[in-house]
Amino acid sequence: MKTPLITLFLALLCALPLWANQAKDSKGLPKDSQGETRMLQQLLKMEPAGLADLRQTIERIEQMTSDEKEKLRKRVEELNQMRPERVKAMRDRFESIPREDREAMRQRWLNLPPEERQEWHQKLRAMAPEERQKVLKEQGFLPTPGNAHRGKKPPRPPEE
């Protein structure tokens, strides 16, 4: 009984250096540091405005609950499944809205109670895209030139 245990112990002892050394690439760097290096190279190529946007995104993600992160993961997956021209059209529409307006719209949305946000989600998903745009504009969730929403509480979604 002692011999198999000693043999197993010696085999594990000999294999220990293999486990202790991380997998390395041809340059002798740990493989996970390659990703960090590539990321650092990309960050160094970015303009200051892009870095500021990235910082804001990271801060928003840090403040998210696990449920919010899961919803965002699903939304990103949906975007990955869309045709590239559809994603580009959505991105162009988003970027056409001035940053201050986008932030005001986002804050207005976040100020809604969770139940009301859920109610809006359900109603909006049931609408045709044109109808959805019209309702969002009428209710002040989309910017209208010279007509910013300044009320304390947003209106309720239309009843069906």
Check residue 152 and give its pLDDT.
43
In terms of Cα–Cα distance, which of 87, 65, 60, 63 is closest to 76? Answer: 87
Domain count, the chain: 2
Buried b (16+ CB within 10 A) or exposed e, 17-46: eeeeeeeeeeeeeeeeeeeeeeeeeeeeee
| pLDDT of 38 over the 60 cut | yes
Cβ count near 141 (within 10 Å): 19
Domain assignment present for 73 = yes
131 lies in the same domain as 113: yes
Same domain (yes/no): 89, 116: no
Q: Are residues 75 and 112 in the same domain?
A: no
12 falls within a domain: no
- Whether 136 maps to a domain, the answer reads yes
The answer to whether residue 119 is domain-embedded is yes
Q: Which domain holds residue 112?
A: 99-144
What DSSP character marks residue 145? T
Tell me, yes or no, whether 52 lies in a domain: no
Clarify whether residues 103 and 133 are in a common domain.
yes
C-alpha dihedral, 68 to 152 to 150 to 103, nearest 10°: -20
Residue 74 placed within a domain: yes
Structure tokens at 80: 């990955």
Sign of the Cα pseudo-torsion (36, 42, 44, 48, in order): negative
Residues 111 and 122 reside in one and the same domain: yes
Whether residue 103 is contained in a domain is answered as yes
Would the pLDDT of 51 be above 80? yes
CA distance 58 to 43: 14
Share of the chain above pLDDT 70, in %: 68
Residues 105 and 124 in one domain: yes
The whole-number pLDDT of residue 9 equals 47
Shared domain for 103 and 92, answered yes or no, is no
Residue 127 lies in a domain: yes
Six-digit token pair at 50? Answer: 């892009």
pTM for this structure?
0.48
Q: What are phi and psi of 55, to 5 degrees?
A: -60, -45
Q: What is the pLDDT of residue 58?
A: 92
pLDDT mean across residues, the chain = 76
Distance from the first to the final alpha carbon of the chain: 78
- pLDDT tens for 109-142 read 888 898 988 888 888 888 888 888 888 878 777 7
Mean pLDDT of 29-39: 74
108 plus 75 within the same structural domain: no
pLDDT-derived band at 153 (thresholds 50, 70, 90) equals very low
Region 52-77: mean pLDDT is: 91
